Amino acid sequence: MTVRTQDRVAVAGDQGVLAALKRLLPKRWYAHLVLWIACGLIGFPLFYAILVSTQNNSEVFAYQFTPGANFYANWDVVFNISKLSAYMVNSLIIAAAVTTGKVILSLLAGLAFVYFRFPGKWLVFGFVLITLMMPTEILIIALFRFVNSLGWGNTYIALIVPFIASATGSFLFRQHFANLPAELSEAAQLDGATPLQFLFRVLVPVSWNTIGALTVIQFVYVWNFYLWPALIIQGQERQVVQVGLRTLLGGDSAVRFGPMMLGAVAASIPPLIIFLLLQKQFMSGFAITRDK
């Protein structure tokens, strides 16, 4: 690459100690330096949270930069007393349900938009498109009233059903299908396949990247739900992990940082795993507009 040759020529042209020093350093050492600092700054909050999760308050206040001796005590508070694992199971259930449901509904919507001609398609398209302007957060009060009036208060259904369809999901697959070669559906029709057979035998196998991308977006989105479950779920039994973390804050008097940080770290592990596992699909499949 010409750019790189240029840089090297410039380095060789310099004279003296500076040039010798530059030759000792790795190529583009400045980039390494900047990235080290950036990774360090971005990583520090989580690193420190992990560190504190092994400490008690006196170790925290002593700014001890080595692991403390209280990991098991903190673990006991988080998982045996506050039962964070139960909240995490709840979050897992609704995240898995919403993600699965949305992938299926979005595949069906994409199929209808791309592989069918029907009167009024543009109207339906516009109708779906407009919902991009309606963030659930704004509607939270009306939604709360409505979902309660359906008798769904304090149920998993209230956390799942309102979120299993969205413009983002439908358009993600619409766009993906529209870029596939027309021969696919022509061949399938010659073979006498029904639309659903075509969807699950032909389209799904060539759509894993898009499905992976939508899975990451949805899983992270639902796992991170906070305001809505805080309103619609009253008891502890079906509460999600982001709200459940509040039980670790304790009363006003004694904030115990160790359990709090352990809880925060534990609550971040499932979405991080999903994100890291599907990172490649996420990067290649996204033409995403919103996390909705």
Q: Which of residues 155-194 bind other proteins (CB under 8 A)?
A: 161-167, 170, 178, 180-186, 188-189
- 1 secondary structure, DSSP code: -
Of the candidates 178, 184, 173, the residue with the CA atom closest to the CA atom of residue 210: 173
**Member of 34, 69, 81, 206 binding other proteins (CB under 8 A):** 34
Q: At 232, which helix (H) or strand (E)?
A: helix 227-232
Quick check: 281 and 216 in contact, CB under 8 A? yes
CA angle in degrees (0–180, nearest 5) for 124-118-123:
20
**Member of 12, 18, 20, 42 binding other proteins (CB under 8 A):** 42
**Member of 26, 192, 205, 251 binding other proteins (CB under 8 A):** 26
Cβ neighbourhood burial of 79 (10 Å; 0-12, 13-18, 19+) = middle
**Member of 15, 145, 252, 254 binding other proteins (CB under 8 A):** 145
Quick check: 111 and 203 in contact, CB under 8 A? yes
Per-residue contact string for residues 64-103; x = within reach of other proteins by CB under 8 A: ----------------------------------------
Cα–Cα dist 17/20, whole Å: 5
Report, in Å, the least distance between residue 206 CB and other proteins.
14
**Member of 24, 66, 116, 205 binding other proteins (CB under 8 A):** 116
**Member of 12, 69, 89, 138 binding other proteins (CB under 8 A):** 138
Examine residue 198 and tell whether it contacts other proteins (CB under 8 A): yes
**Member of 18, 89, 206, 276 binding other proteins (CB under 8 A):** 276
**Member of 247, 260, 281, 285 binding other proteins (CB under 8 A):** 260
Q: Give whichever of 48 and 208 is closer to other proteins, judged by the CB atom.
A: 48
Phi, psi of 86 (to 5 degrees): -65, -40
Q: Which residues 6+ apart lie within 8 Å of 87 measured at CB? A: 239, 240, 241, 243, 244, 245
Identify which range of 13-21, 68-76, 201-209, 224-232 contacts other proteins by CB under 8 A: 224-232
Report, in Å, the least distance between residue 203 CB and other proteins.
12
SS3 233: coil
Examine residue 211 and tell whether it contacts other proteins (CB under 8 A): no
Q: Give whichever of 71 and 275 is closer to other proteins, judged by the CB atom.
A: 275
Report, in Å, the least distance between residue 30 CB and other proteins.
8
Phi, psi of 73 (to 5 degrees): -65, -45
Examine residue 12 and tell whether it contacts other proteins (CB under 8 A): no
Total residues at interface with other proteins (CB under 8 A)? 110
Q: Which residues 6+ apart lie within 8 Å of 292 measured at CB? A: 132, 135, 136, 166, 167, 168, 221
Cα–Cα dist 27/31, whole Å: 9
**Member of 39, 69, 81, 206 binding other proteins (CB under 8 A):** 39
**Member of 35, 69, 89, 206 binding other proteins (CB under 8 A):** 35
